[in-house]
Amino acid sequence: MSNILALIEISNHGDLEDSTPSLLAAAAKLGTPVAVVVTAPGAGAALVDHLGRLGAAQVYLAQGEQVGTFLVTPQVDALAAAVLAFDPGAILTVNSVEGRDVAARLAARIDAGLVIDAVDLRFEGTNVVATHSVFGGAYTVESTVEGGPTIVTVRQGAIEGQADAVAPVVTTASLGSETGRSAIIDEVIDNVVVSARPGLRGATKVVSGGRGLGSQEKFELVERLADALGAAVGASRAAVDAGFVSQASQVGQTGVTVSPQLYVALGISGAIQHRAGMQTAKTIVAINKDADAPIFDIADFGIVGDVFTVVPQLIEAIESRSKK
Amino acid sequence: MKIVVLMKQVPDTYGERILDPSTGLVDRSGSDAVIDEIDERALEVALSYKDAHKDVEVVVVSMGSTAVTVGLRKGLAMGADSAVHVLDSALAGADVGWTSTVLAAALTTTGFDLVIAGNESTDGGGGVVPAMVAERLGVPHVTYLESVQISDDGVVGERSTGRGKLRVHAALPAVISITERLPEARFPKFKGIMSAKKKPFTVASLGDLGIDPAVTFAGVGRSVVLQTTKRPARASGKKIVDEGNAGVELADFLVAGHLL
């Protein structure tokens, strides 16, 4: 089995990001997972056990003072060094802002082919074949890389399962201090709200609200239903533009693409741009006053009615069941 | 200062977007072609800096079919000083690796202090070309900026990542990409439309940029589409009108589907 490099994302507080299990599961589908961890000196060793439990057979700890100050280039340098050390069959990053940046610069540096936003991966002979969900799931596309190394960004949470726990072999490397090519991080504004709710990306249930909620205060109804279902909170662009919620919650073509087991659309008309971000959900429920709203065309269960009467009744029904 | 804005032609998102099943490429005849709105916002960033700094030169660059001409002309009408259109039939089906190589060559030809692009297109949506271009040019990049302040020697801004915001800066020359948090583009004025016709408009082939595909791309990995399948349209399921009991019916539906 060939080595598969997986660039692990580390949170502002030094922990493994939620994307890690799925990324290592993706690596394990293809070969032997090698977790590449880029930290300030001494900060990576504490993560080794956890990575082993998630199936990383090898951990490559690249450490340098510039990590946290230089934007993206330390991760690129680390992966480039790991490529030489492990001769991998593929290099995986998370399809996040940072993961894509790293993959992009690395591909340009080592003349690799870059495959973006894979939702599944497999080997065919010596080629990695990636599956993509394109135009909001309207098409399924398979792609591969010809004539050079393969780098893949993997959609967060798309690949399920977990590799068997192992005791990893650890390699430690120091990052050189080279770089006139890097932007500089001046400040980290850690504005991720501490919330018991699951994050939108990779959530198994999502409740989204649209302009039909009417105001920022009334948008709270979306949050109440999300909490009753244990779901993440999303929104249409109209609701974001109206200031009901922050842009981080936007589902759709210019926001987050989700593919949950259950998607509940409240007061969302279902413009094509919104549908592009959610129509691969397994089950779609829509509640809207307008019987002609296009969201009903793709809903498995549609209710023509007022969200402010239907949703409280639904929450009550859910809560009375959970008490039984 | 010279600011180059990268623009991409995409199928209009207000229509149905089609993939050609035989090639896996976007069927650009199947829908109206427009310059991606995010790229017009990128141009607006450059033009608003030019408004306050008259010595700034703004160049719009696009790689694509002849249909790109319309979008580049619009860029000139909005206020860009010149346009470069990279047009070559050998580029049909170019992946991000090829595209970034060609754009880097075009930028080397035009010269630049700052390159501004949209963060990701509405069709491919890869969001990787700006950083690839930066690596090929050996300059810093800052992508996904939600705010931008340009000065003579650098660019400062905030970028959002999944885990919060970063305030970052880069020395020039640099490549940046911006998100739709930045202002909408201005409309071309009549005077701008008239003067656009007299502005320099260069059409460059790969040969003009010093690229021979057989040599430049030898040994470079390239992503290719193997297969494209149109997913069957999602059928609508049950639809009821609330007569006072819909919330309970929905709860029953969720229970039946093991979704509670």
- Distance of alpha carbon A235 from alpha carbon B242, whole angstroms: 23
| A57 touches A169 (CB < 8 A) | yes
Q: Give which of A12, A254, A292 to mutate to test B binding, by max B Cβ within 10 Å.
A: A254
Residues of A in contact with B167 (CB under 8 A): 185-187, 189
Q: Which of residues 147-176 of A touch B (CB under 8 A)?
A: 147-150, 153
Task: Domain A3-174: give its CATH superfamily.
Answer: HUPs (3.40.50.620)
The domain ranges of chain B are 2-216
Residue B8: DSSP 8-state: -
Which range of A245-259, A310-324, B206-220 scores highest in mean pLDDT? It is: B206-220
Task: Characterize the bridge pairing of strands A139-146 and A127-134.
Answer: antiparallel
pLDDT for residue B246:
95
Distance, CA of B171 to CA of B126 (rounded, Å): 25
Select the CATH number that applies to the domain covering B2-216 from these four: 3.10.20.520, 3.60.110.10, 3.40.50.620, 3.90.105.20.
Answer: 3.40.50.620
Is A85 annotated in a binding site? The answer is no
Domain A205-323: CATH superfamily, name plus number: TPP-binding domain (3.40.50.1220)
The C-alpha angle A59, A60, A63, rounded to 5 degrees, equals 130
State the Cα–Cα distance between residues A120 and A282, nearest whole angstrom. Answer: 17
Confidence band for A7, pLDDT divided at 50, 70 and 90 = very high
Searching chain A, which residue's CA lies closest to the CA of residue B155? A183
Selecting from A272, A298, A315 the residue whose C-beta is nearest the C-beta of B234 gives A298
Q: Tell which B residues from 180 to 199 touch A, by Cβ distance under 8 Å.
A: 180-181
The one-digit pLDDT tens for each residue of chain B (260 residues) are 999 999 998 876 655 667 777 777 777 666 667 788 899 999 999 999 999 999 999 999 999 988 899 999 999 999 999 999 999 999 988 899 999 999 999 999 999 999 999 998 877 778 999 999 999 999 999 999 999 999 998 999 999 776 678 999 999 999 999 998 899 899 999 999 999 999 999 999 999 999 999 999 988 899 998 988 887 777 788 999 999 999 999 999 999 888 88
Domain ranges across chain A: 3-174, 205-323
Q: Which residue has the tokens 């999303």?
A: A234
Q: Given CB atoms, is B99 within the 8 Å cutoff of chain A?
A: no
Phi/psi for B142 (5° steps) reads -135, 115
Q: Average of pLDDT values for A95-117?
A: 95
End-to-end CA distance of chain B: 59
Instruction: Tell me which amino acid residue B20 is.
Output: D
Q: Are A129 and A271 spatial neighbours (Cβ–Cβ below 8 Å)?
A: no
B68-122: pLDDT as tens digits: 999 999 999 999 999 999 999 999 888 999 999 999 999 999 999 999 999 988 7
Whether residues B247 and A316 touch (CB distance < 8 A) is answered with yes
Same fold, A3-174 and A205-323: yes
The backbone region for A147, taken as left when phi is positive above 0, alpha when psi lies in -120 to 50, beta otherwise, is left
Residue A214 DSSP class: -
Whole-number Cα distances in Å, A152 to A90, A92, A104, A132: 7, 5, 10, 11
DSSP state of A255: S
